[in-house]
Structure 1
């Protein structure tokens, strides 16, 4: 740098961006930017030796001679290599940033301030109207986990699970959320819209008209899908999934008026008692087999307000049970063990009876008898 600036004093300067900077701007920027790279952000400028100032000027010059983009790219590299902490630009660029901030009374430094400030606005979660190098941030571009939940008035834990599902945070050893990358504002909008439509398990059960225990069983047996899929997530259900489940239960809806047989129909809870099974199992049977349902009062839309035909349900249970065999019996018929039967299920050659169709308390795993016969007759290749 010393040689280059000496040539500039002699009138032999080039025509690039760096050569057009005022002399004091060019030299000071080289030294202070180089000091950041040489000694780190926490360096005390008052304690820097003359030799280190000379080294710093040379290091800074190797970047600044190529224009502001080279300087910004180096700052971006420092950000990418940052330690895993919550510190922002002041801590990251300490000595260089503080030096530049103290030059606000000299407009000649705008050539350095402007690109650095824009880089900070584009790279860090700076809130709207926050002052950076003498200028207010016109709009927030990035969020942290906390700023997102606070500004959008979202539950902190629920927001964390949404970010975890997107891969923007992870769980650390203390089981706390750890931010991996800042969240762009457009993604923050999507998350806010998403979470405003995710309801707790208690509220979902109330919306559907079922008990909390029934909802838990429905979820465990994958009849209704929770919104957050990862392990240890808070149980929440999206409005779209709630609607999908409710309409799948009522897809066999028939009019109540004029339907004489419906006078003997009962609620899902009472149907469960008659068939000696759980309410969630009745709902499970209604969905795939399209059993008839209706609601005597059309103004009431909850599942608890609907009724179904207990005889149709019992007949369907009997039909499923007649056409099902245990894994052990299927293995004996096919000449294999239960592990091999399970492999046939995984391969799709046998169909396992769903848990909601098994009324026995012992809950033996069973497969459809028709599939076993198909394999015995050679209709399918094992």
Structure 2
């Protein structure tokens, strides 16, 4: 009577399934359906509808051995008042049975199984398979749905939920009666929205989808008007697609927020090759900024793909310039000792990105700002302050020994001699004003003012000869005859110098 009651309660169950009790637990044989022979009340006179004992004995003898399914055991125990899996116990018994069998049928026989043609043995297997997932609640149901998805043969063109889930989807989406589906419906609906590209407004299981949760390459391409191949490359570079992505099986499990943000940034993309012009700086400086992470390509670092996703978002570039110009004194003409970032970096022999770091961290005080249309070049810094902050320059701004040597037409050794050796007990004619770091060492800087004074106060013998319009030996003889001798011993100084004031 108990098993008959289960079959009666669940007889309106899964399409084609009829009822979940299909095995005799006493004889371990499949139950056989035969029409009743009497018209008596079913519950008052069951014997009137049963075959005779001889017929029953024969059926028991010829029946194949089969164990009772876990689903049948659960349903029998439930009607006896024993607790089972919490999620199944929380719903009507026929809904729990139907959901288990329908899920199991699609897992065991495929999403496009012909349900009316399934035998009772097939439905018994379906219930057994489905119960293994439904007994574990929503998490188990989602695993079962993933199992159905993994077996679907459809391509991306057919990859809507109907193409993927087949009769399982049709059972709920196109139901013609008002019989409830139960909690399985919500779990199934959420799974579709979380794993497939369902657009807002789509009617799914009788309700409109409020907001899209997943995209496919195709849906992104259509929404933003970007070629699918470009979208695919960008998503892969941004790690939004798996490395083994197969375009023929694109079911659309791409995160909406991240992918749409990526596509919007792509539409604002400035190609890497055009970033220097956009910012108003040179290519090496852009390379430094990207390497330091201050500018970031839209879809990450290059990986060999040529794509607009390798550009930089114009909004990011504007934001970068605004941050550089976020403090400082607007001016029309630069002050003494103040240079643009690139020129200051060249003067200090440091990467420009080091100066940018100081600016972004607001560690500089002597910042001046030209017209904002100059963008990167509009920001000027105090070279001496930057050098001190970076530990690459001390004292006052000056010229390197090699620069002074070129300007005066002397050797570096002669300049070094003039810095160390004063004439006749006086102060050295060239003076050190500070130091700068070069090739890992601190090197002296020469005061520009002392260089200018030296050019006025001293001349080489070659300059004197030119002034006298004669040869060097003749000029030397004439000077000696007038008692004018070199200020330093030429062999020691490396140059023959005379005081201009003595001519």
> Smaller-chain TM-score range?
0.5 to 0.7
1:302 matched residue in structure 2 = 375
* Superposition pairs of residues 207-356 of structure 1, within 5 angstroms: 207-210=278-281, 213-214=283-284, 216-219=286-289, 222=292, 224-227=294-297, 228-232=299-303, 234-238=309-313, 239-240=315-316, 243-244=319-320, 248=324, 256-257=331-332, 261=336, 283=352, 287=356, 298=371, 300-304=373-377, 318=400
Cα gap change, 1:369/1:291 in structure 2, threshold over 3 Å: closer, same or farther?
farther
Cα contact 2:104–2:129 (8 A) shared by 1: yes
CA distance in 2: counterparts of 1:146 and 1:214, whole angstroms: 37
Cα gap change, 1:266/1:88 in structure 2, threshold over 3 Å: closer, same or farther?
same
CA distance in 2: counterparts of 1:188 and 1:81, whole angstroms: 23
Cα gap change, 1:215/1:152 in structure 2, threshold over 3 Å: closer, same or farther?
farther
2:196 matched residue in structure 1 = 124
- Deviations along 1:39-62, whole A, 9 cap, x unmatched? 122333355444323322444456
Cα contact 2:300–2:310 (8 A) shared by 1: no
Cα contact 1:30–1:60 (8 A) shared by 2: yes
CA distance in 1: counterparts of 2:295 and 2:163, whole angstroms: 44
Cα gap change, 1:258/1:180 in structure 2, threshold over 3 Å: closer, same or farther?
same
CA distance in 2: counterparts of 1:185 and 1:7, whole angstroms: 45
CA distance in 2: counterparts of 1:231 and 1:49, whole angstroms: 57
1:32 matched residue in structure 2 = 102
- Deviations along 1:185-242, whole A, 9 cap, x unmatched? 454565567667764335533431235x455544576485333433326433354466
How far off its partner does 1:127 sit? 0.8
SS state of the match for residue 104, structure 2? helix
How far off its partner does 1:301 sit? 3.6
1:139 matched residue in structure 2 = 211
- Deviations along 1:244-300, whole A, 9 cap, x unmatched? 46755x7996664576748xx99889x69x98x9xxx8855864797977566x353
Cα contact 1:168–1:180 (8 A) shared by 2: no
CA distance in 2: counterparts of 1:292 and 1:159, whole angstroms: 46
Cα contact 1:210–1:303 (8 A) shared by 2: yes
CA distance in 2: counterparts of 1:304 and 1:251, whole angstroms: 14
Match among 141, 153, 156 for residue 72 of structure 1: 141
SS state of the match for residue 295, structure 2? coil
2:272 matched residue in structure 1 = 201
SS state of the match for residue 107, structure 1? coil
CA distance in 2: counterparts of 1:97 and 1:223, whole angstroms: 47
Q: Does 1:105 align with 2:176?
A: yes
CA distance in 2: counterparts of 1:286 and 1:8, whole angstroms: 81
How far off its partner does 1:35 sit? 1.6
| Root mean square deviation, CA, Å | 5.6
Structure 1 residues 252-261 or 113-122, which shifts more?
Answer: 252-261
CA distance in 2: counterparts of 1:128 and 1:266, whole angstroms: 55
Unaligned runs of 5+ in 1: 322-356, 359-365, 371-382
Cα gap change, 1:253/1:160 in structure 2, threshold over 3 Å: closer, same or farther?
farther
Normalising by structure 2, we get a TM-score of 0.44
Q: Which has the larger radius of gyration?
A: 2
Normalising by structure 1, we get a TM-score of 0.55
Q: Does 1:53 align with 2:126?
A: no
- Deviations along 1:345-367, whole A, 9 cap, x unmatched? xxxxxxxxxxxx99xxxxxxx85
- Deviations along 1:289-346, whole A, 9 cap, x unmatched? 97977566x353433567789999996784899xxxxxxxxxxxxxxxxxxxxxxxxx
Equivalent pairs counted in the alignment come to 311
Cα gap change, 1:208/1:251 in structure 2, threshold over 3 Å: closer, same or farther?
same
Cα contact 2:341–2:356 (8 A) shared by 1: no
CA distance in 2: counterparts of 1:229 and 1:316, whole angstroms: 42
- Deviations along 1:63-94, whole A, 9 cap, x unmatched? 55x49747734434426856897545334322
Using CA pairs below 8 Å that are at least 6 residues apart, which structure has the higher relative contact order? Answer: 1
How far off its partner does 1:107 sit? 0.9
CA distance in 2: counterparts of 1:89 and 1:247, whole angstroms: 48
